[in-house]
Amino acid sequence: METRNKIIEKASELFLVMGVKNITMDQIASEAGVSKRTIYELFKDKDDLVIQSLREMIIYNNKQMLGIIAQAQHVIEAIFMIIKRETMHRKGYTRIFIEDIRKYYSRVNESLYSCKESLKEFSASYTLLEKGIREDIFRKDIQIELVDNFLHELMNLMERSDRIKALNPMPEDILRSISLPYLRGICTAKGVKLMDQYFENITELI
């Protein structure tokens, strides 16, 4: 397990800097200090290694977001803090990395969010929705699993759609036109008021 984790760690570092296509298994083996044969004993092929690396990135990211949700005063503050964190992290991703991993999103998400138990374990948005309902910020009549799956599918669409990509939207455009209006729509009056307070100036947030 230690060797597997080391390979994933080194592969992830290389993918983030140079993209997926530009990295060979020989380079990964060299960085991880193992033979290429060892990599193929642990991973079926390069695609499998990419998927497992992305999976671990998502799991780590979800743990960080769960920590934010737990510490925030309420879910609207948590959303605000998560958006700031994700914006900062995304600036560290190379464009080539973002482009290269588009084709893997659906397969990674399927492995993480294929059932209710997986949603609860790996989806920070599921926890966010549950907490928001308890805090009377999100409406009690929403179906959490349905909304959570929709949010994940929406993110997949934003990453994969050539039509949206052609529009070249800025992050604040996506927030202002898609993400925040949807969240506002599932809010109670209390939630709407908090959203107006926290997201008055989206440009400064991004």
pLDDT on residue 65: 93
pLDDT on residue 108: 73
For the chain, what are the domain ranges? 1-43, 54-205
Considering Cα of 91, then 61, then 108, then 151, what sign does the dihedral take?
A: negative
* pLDDT tier, 159 (very low <50, low <70, confident <90, very high otherwise): confident
Q: For the ranges 16-25, 170-179, 190-199, which has the lowest average pLDDT?
A: 170-179
**Residue 187 β-bridge partners:** 138
80 pLDDT more than 80 = yes
Query: What's the CATH number of domain 1-43, 1.10.10.60, 1.10.3720.10, 3.10.105.10, 1.20.120.1630?
Result: 1.10.10.60
Phi, psi of 102 (to 5 degrees): -55, -45
pTM attached to this predicted model: 0.80
The Cβ of residue 123 has, within 10 Å, a number of other Cβ atoms equal to 24
**Residue 138 β-bridge partners:** 187
Q: For the ranges 10-14, 27-31, 113-117, 179-183, which has the lowest average pLDDT?
A: 113-117
Can you tell me whether residue 187 is helix, strand or coil? strand
* pLDDT tier, 41 (very low <50, low <70, confident <90, very high otherwise): very high
Convert 145-186 into a string of H (helix), E (strand) and C (coil).
Answer: HHHHHHHHHHHHHHHHCHHHHHHCCCHHHHHHHHHHHHHHHC
Q: For the ranges 16-25, 69-78, 92-101, which has the lowest average pLDDT?
A: 92-101
Q: What is the pLDDT of residues 90-146, one digit of tens each?
A: 777 777 887 777 777 667 766 666 655 565 666 899 999 999 999 999 999 999 999
Of 76, 78, 81, the residue nearest 193 (C-alpha): 76
- What's the one-letter identity of residue 132? G
* pLDDT tier, 181 (very low <50, low <70, confident <90, very high otherwise): very high
**74-110: burial string, b at 16+ Cβ within 10 Å, e else:** bbbbbbbbbbeeeeeeeeeeeebbeebbeebbeebbe
* pLDDT tier, 66 (very low <50, low <70, confident <90, very high otherwise): very high
- Look up residue 156 and give its two tokens: 């997949």
